[in-house]
């Protein structure tokens, strides 16, 4: 490259030029001396005839340089000198920008990692998913979507599509939900880790090779193949310290022997970003072994798989989508199980949507994208407020440098050059701020991650800034530098040199005051928007936190455990449940113990269709869903859910007595409006158990599914009752699944430390193979449901306060500065009889005008902004006058303080002294 060479040879060129000119002059002097001139005369003549050597050398050099580039470097050097000259100013600017840029970079790091990145696999662009939503996570029976949009598949459905869709080079299946898996090596105690069942071609589809050992293939995914697993690199490192003997070793997953054949590469965290990425991948064929009686692999309508495949180059997605939809409809009509469960009415609507699959399973993305963009908008507002503050600072400083600027302009400096120089300085400050901001961003990202996904073991999101993030921060620094530097540079450079040189402190106002005031207005506007947002989100969080969940949380603890993982077969469950109930009840301080299929708000739920005898089996569209939880008799007491009618469940509701159920108020209202539900019957297995359960009691509503949705219709059945006469295999399977408990809720009065030790002891006494999945207070478990909401509310409040602080400082600074400028005027007013209060009023009125204007502009913007974040609010309406009033009052109060301090100072001016100042 020619210009590169030139760049490096320039120094030599400059020397060459000097040597040439030097020699030229010498030769000329020699010649002139030969003509009889003295050396001095000759030198003088030669130089005169040659001209200005320095200028000529410079002009000669100009042929070689990019004048802009070199003078920019000079500007940078000059700017650095200026910054060194006023370190206090520089530090203030850099810190302000570091906060602004850091906040934005932290949020951008998350947005980039979560929303913009593809999976770390080969050629993610050619990956496509069959399905577009994640509504049907993670296990459904048949076609549960009313609109026929299929996104989750059964094993049979997967195999059919894979065999009949050659357009997919590879089509892999992966478990929609991930399961907690009990993992044991040799005689060590079992640990609970995340596991995922995937098809044999999973790794090949993604083009992922083993880090060590091998990945499994289709051959490992055949019925009868020896059970294998691939371990994640992170699990290998953190649980087994990279022990090479892990590869080829036998592990016990869910108490079943499985050979670990390889380790996945370090970068591969699976097919999705999730708080807990899988520690193990296991072929689908091993599911019956690991899930035992709960196995769903061969249940024809059990849908639990997401499909992602690699499309052959040149395949058009639209026609493929139509083809698969038609194919699926046709196939469903040939499946007895689909025909027998009332699905035919839904089959004509069945269709699939093919979506890009390079980012894998994006359920986390769908949950968090709005929140992340909300945070980004908030942090951009903070950055703007920070920019305005810095612009004001620079402007004030520019006024101080007015004389210097004027002199330079009087001496002929080009205006553009002055602007460029000032911009260079602000961009440099912006970049320094950005550099410091990277540290803020790193710390911020880590904090956000730990708060948003507490307790994650293996996280797919990394807080260390990537190249893209660094680029973003740099670009942002440049832009902010220009944004906050442009206006001051323009204004300062348009100063009239003559005016400035004539003297200072003579005017009542000056050129900068209007722009400075507008900056304050602008800051007030955005601060109000931020404060209103913070108010709304905080209020919403409070509503979520302090709502009536319908439960008692004081002294309540939840133990999660996994009898299935410990290898319990269905026939052993009754004995286990009884032993657990008795022995936990015997722990000193234990008031009530309740066993349950799942506990409130622990992330699990189970929905069934409810069938009431005598009522026509409703049309396919009618909603007859209700949540089922299977519990022990003391469960209601343990969670503090009061029985409002009839009775709760009792010890003598046994296998041999009539089948009973307790329903909640929402259930009673949904299925028996205006009727007494007590004594009514219902069933859940279509025609097989018509009216099997009799409703014996009604409990108050409580929230099980989520803190932000109303309590759903729900019914509770005793763990001790089991319908053994079911025929349809899927019903037999479901009945079995619902009898495995995962939670024990305890009402315990004593110190929590004692509880943990006692729980461990008791569990080991019942069965040493039963591991504690987790033990936590019910409060903590419930709070986990809104940790993201809490994080956003706190961050917004923090950003709002930061903006308030910046605005107040800005207002204080500008008011002080202007008061100082008006010293003479104020002195004059006081000399003519203005009193202290009058002066204070004069100054404060000026400050208030800006704030009031800012508020007037901010209120409509805040209302619009609130409207856009309405879906992030719980119970609170986006139009909330109280939040608006509080925000405005807080801003006013801060402004009053910021205006009052300089006003008081102004009022204490001694008129005589003021008039003498110059």
Partner 1 sequence: MAKNPEHRDLFSGALEMMILHSLRLKPMHGYALVKHIKQVSDNLLQVEEGSLYPALQRMLREGLLESKEGVSAKGRPTRIYRLTDAGMRHLEKEVSSFEKMFAGITRVLAVAKA
| Contact footprint for partner 1 (CB under 8 A) | 6, 13, 16-17, 19-21, 23-24, 26-28, 30, 49-52, 56-57, 59-64
CB of 8 to partner 1, least distance (A): 14
CB of 2 to partner 1, least distance (A): 8
Nearer to partner 1, 38 or 52 (CB): 52
Phi, psi of 713 (to 5 degrees): -60, 135
CB of 9 to partner 1, least distance (A): 10
Q: How many CB atoms lie within 10 A of CB 802?
A: 20
Nearer to partner 1, 24 or 125 (CB): 24
Nearer to partner 1, 25 or 828 (CB): 25
**Which residues are CB-neighbours of 739 under 8 A, at least 6 positions away?**
570, 573, 597, 630, 719, 722
CB of 40 to partner 1, least distance (A): 20
CB of 234 to partner 1, least distance (A): 58
**Which residues are CB-neighbours of 554 under 8 A, at least 6 positions away?**
none
Q: In this structure, what is the dihedral angle of CA atoms 563, 567, 569, 572, given to the nearest 10 degrees?
A: -60
Nearer to partner 1, 51 or 313 (CB): 51
- C-alpha distances in Å from residue 508, one per residue of 512, 582, 816: 12, 87, 14
591's tokens: 């008031």
CB of 115 to partner 1, least distance (A): 50
CB of 6 to partner 1, least distance (A): 7
CB of 59 to partner 1, least distance (A): 5
* DSSP-based three-state secondary structure for 226: coil
Nearer to partner 1, 15 or 243 (CB): 15
Instruction: In whole angstroms, give the CA distance from residue 539 to residue 548.
Output: 15
505's tokens: 């402190």
Nearer to partner 1, 66 or 868 (CB): 66
Question: Residues 219, 197: contact at Cβ < 8 Å?
Answer: no
Nearer to partner 1, 2 or 908 (CB): 2
Instruction: In whole angstroms, give the CA distance from residue 720 to residue 661.
Output: 12
CB of 38 to partner 1, least distance (A): 19
Nearer to partner 1, 28 or 836 (CB): 28
CB of 28 to partner 1, least distance (A): 7
Nearer to partner 1, 33 or 115 (CB): 33
Phi, psi of 293 (to 5 degrees): -65, -25
Nearer to partner 1, 12 or 546 (CB): 12
| 3-state secondary structure labels for all residues of 706-733 | CCCCCCCCEEEEECCCCCCCCCCHHHHH
CA-angle at 388, arms to 386 and 393, nearest 5°: 95
Greatest Cα-to-Cα distance within the chain, rounded to the nearest angstrom: 139
Nearer to partner 1, 64 or 240 (CB): 64
Per-residue b/e over 504-524, b at no fewer than 16 CB within 10 Å?
Answer: eeeeeebbbbebbbebbbbbb
Burial of 774 (0-12, 13-18, 19+ CB in 10 A): middle
Helical ranges in 292-362 per DSSP H: 317-332, 336-340
Q: Please name every residue paired with 744 in a beta bridge, in sequence order, or none if there are none.
A: 559, 595
Instruction: In whole angstroms, give the CA distance from residue 581 to residue 590.
Output: 11
Nearer to partner 1, 20 or 657 (CB): 20
CB of 416 to partner 1, least distance (A): 24
Question: Residues 712, 705: contact at Cβ < 8 Å?
Answer: yes
Side-chain-facing half-sphere of 51: CA atoms under 13 Å:
7
Selection from 283, 289, 285 nearest residue 203 by Cα: 283
CB of 23 to partner 1, least distance (A): 4
Selection from 194, 229, 226 nearest residue 214 by Cα: 229
Q: Please name every residue paired with 228 in a beta bridge, in sequence order, or none if there are none.
A: 259
Summarize the chain as % helix, strand, coil (round to 5): 55, 15, 30
Nearer to partner 1, 27 or 123 (CB): 27
End-to-end CA distance of the chain: 60
Q: Which residue has the tokens 């602007």?
A: 419
Nearer to partner 1, 5 or 85 (CB): 5
Q: What is the CA radius of gyration of the chain?
A: 37
CB of 3 to partner 1, least distance (A): 10
Instruction: In whole angstroms, give the CA distance from residue 299 to residue 141.
Output: 9
Q: Which residue has the tokens 């689909």?
A: 338
Instruction: In whole angstroms, give the CA distance from residue 230 to residue 281.
Output: 5
CB of 29 to partner 1, least distance (A): 11
Nearer to partner 1, 48 or 727 (CB): 48
For residue 777, say if its preceding peptide bond is cis, omega within 30 degrees of 0: no
CB of 32 to partner 1, least distance (A): 12
Instruction: In whole angstroms, give the CA distance from residue 538 to residue 330.
Output: 52
């Amino acid at each position: 490259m020619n210009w590169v060479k030139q760049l490096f040879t320039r120094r030599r060129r400059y020397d060459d030029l000097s040597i040439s000119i030097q020699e030229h002059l010498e030769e000329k002097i020699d010649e002139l001396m030969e003509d009889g001139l003295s050396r001095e005369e000759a030198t003088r003549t030669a130089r005169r005839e040659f001209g200005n050597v320095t200028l000529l050398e410079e002009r000669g050099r100009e042929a070689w340089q990019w004048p802009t580039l070199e003078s920019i470097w000079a500007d940078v050097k000059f700017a650095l000198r200026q910054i060194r000259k006023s370190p206090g100013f520089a530090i203030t600017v850099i810190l302000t920008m570091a906060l602004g840029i850091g906040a934005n970079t932290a949020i951008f790091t998350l947005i980039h990692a979560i929303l913009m990145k593809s999976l770390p696999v080969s050629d993610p662009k050619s990956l496509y998913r069959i399905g577009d939503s994640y509504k049907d996570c993670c296990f459904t029976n048949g076609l549960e979507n009313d609109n026929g949009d299929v996104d989750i598949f059964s094993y049979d459905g997967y195999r059919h599509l894979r065999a009949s869709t050659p357009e997919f080079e590879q089509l892999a299946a992966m478990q929609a939900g991930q399961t907690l898996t009990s993992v044991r090596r040799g005689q060590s105690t079992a640990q609970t880790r995340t596991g995922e069942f995937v098809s044999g071609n999973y790794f090949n589809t993604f083009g992922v090779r083993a880090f060590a050992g091998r990945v499994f293939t289709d051959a490992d995914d055949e019925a009868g193949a020896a059970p294998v697993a691939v371990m994640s690199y992170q699990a290998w490192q953190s649980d087994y310290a990279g022990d090479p003997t892990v590869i080829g070793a036998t592990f016990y997953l869910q108490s079943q022997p499985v050979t670990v054949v390889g380790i996945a590469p370090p970068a591969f965290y699976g097919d999705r970003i999730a708080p807990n990425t899988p520690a193990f991948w296991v072929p689908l064929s091993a599911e019956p072994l690991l899930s035992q009686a709960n196995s769903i692999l061969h249940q024809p309508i059990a849908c639990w798989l997401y499909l992602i495949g690699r499309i052959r180059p040149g395949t058009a997605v639209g026609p493929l989508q139509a083809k698969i939809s038609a194919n699926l409809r046709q196939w469903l009509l040939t499946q007895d199980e689909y025909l027998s469960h009332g699905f035919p009415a839904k089959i004509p609507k069945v269709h699939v949507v093919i979506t890009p699959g390079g980012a894998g399973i994006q359920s986390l993305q769908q949950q968090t994208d709005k929140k992340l963009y909300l945070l980004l908008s908030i942090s951009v507002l903070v950055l703007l407020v920070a920019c305005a503050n810095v612009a004001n600072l620079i402007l004030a400083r520019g006024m101080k440098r007015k004389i210097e600027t004027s002199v330079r302009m009087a001496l002929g400096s080009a205006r553009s050059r002055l602007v460029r120089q000032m911009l260079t300085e602000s961009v440099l400050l912006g970049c320094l701020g950005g550099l410091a901001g990277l540290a803020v961003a790193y710390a911020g990202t880590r904090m956000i991650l730990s708060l948003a996904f507490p307790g994650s073991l293996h996280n797919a999101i990394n807080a260390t800034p990537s190249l893209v993030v660094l680029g973003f921060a740099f670009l942002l620094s440049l832009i902010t530098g220009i944004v906050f530097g442009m206006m001051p540079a323009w204004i300062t450079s348009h100063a009239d040199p003559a005016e400035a040189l004539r003297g200072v402190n003579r005017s009542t106002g000056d050129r900068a005051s209007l722009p400075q005031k507008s900056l304050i207005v602008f800051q007030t506007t955005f601060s109000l928007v931020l404060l209103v947002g913070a108010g709304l989100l905080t209020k919403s969080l409070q509503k979520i936190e302090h709502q009536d969940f319908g439960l008692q949380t004081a002294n309540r603890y939840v133990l999660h455990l996994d009898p299935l993982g410990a290898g319990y077969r269905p026939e052993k469950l009754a004995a286990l449940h009884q032993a657990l109930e008795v022995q936990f009840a015997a722990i000193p301080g234990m008031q009530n113990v309740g066993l349950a299929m799942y506990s409130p708000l622990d992330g699990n739920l189970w929905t069934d269709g409810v069938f009431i005898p005598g009522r026509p089996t409703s049309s396919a569209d009618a909603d007859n869903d209700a949540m089922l939880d299977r519990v022990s008799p003391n469960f209601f007491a343990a969670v503090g859910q009061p029985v409002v009618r009839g009775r709760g469940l009792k010890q003598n509701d046994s296998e041999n007595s009539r089948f009973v159920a307790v329903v909640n108020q929402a259930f009673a209202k949904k299925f028996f409006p205006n009727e007494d539900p007590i004594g009514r019957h219902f069933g859940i297995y279509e025609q097989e158990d018509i009216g099997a359960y009799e409703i014996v009691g009604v409990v108050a509503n409580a929230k099980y599914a989520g803190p932000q949705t109303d309590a759903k219709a729900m019914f509770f059945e005793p763990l001790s009752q089991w319908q053994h006469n079911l025929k349809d295999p899927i019903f037999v399977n479901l009945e079995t699944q619902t009898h495995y408990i995962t939670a024990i809720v305890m009402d315990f009065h004593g110190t929590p430390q004692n509880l943990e030790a006692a729980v461990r002891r008791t569990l080991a006494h019942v069965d040493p193979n039963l591991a504690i999945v987790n033990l936590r207070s019910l409060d903590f478990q419930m709070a986990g449901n809104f940790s993201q909401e809490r994080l956003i509310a706190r961050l917004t409040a923090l950003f709002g306060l930061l903006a308030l602080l910046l605005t107040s400082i800005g207002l204080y600074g500008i008011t002080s500065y202007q008061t100082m400028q008006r010293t003479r005027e104020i002195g004059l007013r006081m000399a003519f009889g203005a009193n202290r209060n009058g002066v204070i009023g004069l100054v404060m009125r000026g400050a208030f005008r800006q704030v009031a204007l800012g508020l007037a502009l901010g209120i409509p913007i805040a209302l619009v902004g609130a409207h856009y974040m309405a879906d992030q609010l719980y119970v609170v309406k986006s139009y909330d006058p109280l939040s608006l009033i509080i925000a405005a009052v807080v801003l006013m109060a801060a402004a009053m303080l910021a205006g009052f301090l300089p006003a008081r100072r102004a009022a204490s001016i001694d008129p005589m002294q003021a008039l003498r100042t110059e």
